[in-house]
């Protein structure tokens, strides 16, 4: 029941975002749209931005699916781009309604586990320190976030979506292989 309620709140938020920006949407608006009380909203989320963050994470995890491995991460990332395209009004509204730092943090939370699992998968073949591995993870995380934010800012050009693989061909073996070992 909890997930059903959260999804109803998410759907209402996305419906409302078709007609007004995040700062103009109230919890009462969301509750009226889906027939859920304000108290029920507060049981699940502390505010609208908490719901926005949850919705972003849910959409990304659904899009990524089982593609969080070295051999399939590009498929997962393509699905994330497709989810962004499918939720264009929601994404653009959030992008223009919250600070860049908040948007970056949402995307960092999505990309960090993906990249960490990819690097961890290959790091066992090499002898590198955790700090060096974290540096590699951060490098790719920041690069992917920057690329995604630029893609959103440029209004989701399909051409750049199709060509992202040539821009971001994560070769973690090469990164790990060139990492100094101690």
DSSP state string for 49-118: HHHHHHHHHHHHHHHHTT--STTTHHHHHHHHHHHHHHTHHHHHHHHHHS-HHHHHHHHHHHHHHHHHHH
Query: pLDDT 10s per residue in the chain (182 long)?
Result: 688 999 999 999 999 988 899 999 999 999 999 999 999 999 999 999 999 989 988 888 887 777 667 777 777 778 777 887 888 888 888 888 888 888 888 888 878 888 888 888 877 777 778 888 889 889 988 888 888 888 788 766 555 555 555 555 545 455 555 554 43
**Domains defined for the chain, CATH in brackets:** 1-45 (1.10.10.60), 47-177 (1.10.357.10)
Neighbours of 52 (CB within 10 A): 23
Contact 52, 98 (CB under 8 A): yes
Q: What CA–CA distance (Å, rounded) separates 61 from 79? A: 10
Q: What CA–CA distance (Å, rounded) separates 80 from 93? A: 17
What pLDDT shows up at residue 155?
A: 66
- Here the tokens at position 120 are 């961890």
Contact 172, 118 (CB under 8 A): yes
Q: What CA–CA distance (Å, rounded) separates 52 from 83? A: 15
Query: How many residues can be counted in the chain?
Result: 182
Contact 117, 168 (CB under 8 A): no
- Here the tokens at position 37 are 């009380």
pTM of the model: 0.74
Residue 92, C-beta contacts closer than 8 angstroms, at least 6 positions apart: 152, 155
């Amino acid at each position: 029941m909890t997930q059903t309620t959260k999804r109803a709140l998410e759907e209402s938020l996305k419906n409302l975002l078709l007609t007004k920006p995040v700062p103009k949407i109230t919890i009462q608006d969301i509750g009226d749209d889906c027939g859920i009380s304000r108290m029920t909203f507060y049981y699940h989320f502390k505010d609208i931005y908490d719901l926005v963050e949850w919705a972003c994470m849910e959409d990304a995890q659904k899009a990524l699916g089982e593609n969080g491995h070295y051999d399939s991460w590009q498929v997962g990332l393509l699905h994330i781009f497709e989810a962004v395209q499918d939720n264009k009004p929601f994404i653009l509204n959030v992008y223009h309604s919250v600070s860049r730092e908040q948007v970056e943090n949402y995307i960092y939370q999505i990309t960090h586990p993906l990249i960490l699992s990819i690097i961890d998968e290959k790091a066992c073949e090499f002898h590198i320190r955790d700090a060096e591995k974290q540096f590699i993870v951060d490098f790719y995380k920041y690069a992917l976030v920057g690329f995604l934010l630029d893609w959103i800012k440029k209004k989701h050009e399909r051409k750049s979506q199709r060509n992202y693989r040539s821009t971001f061909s994560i070769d973690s073996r090469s990164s790990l292989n060139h990492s100094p070992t101690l």
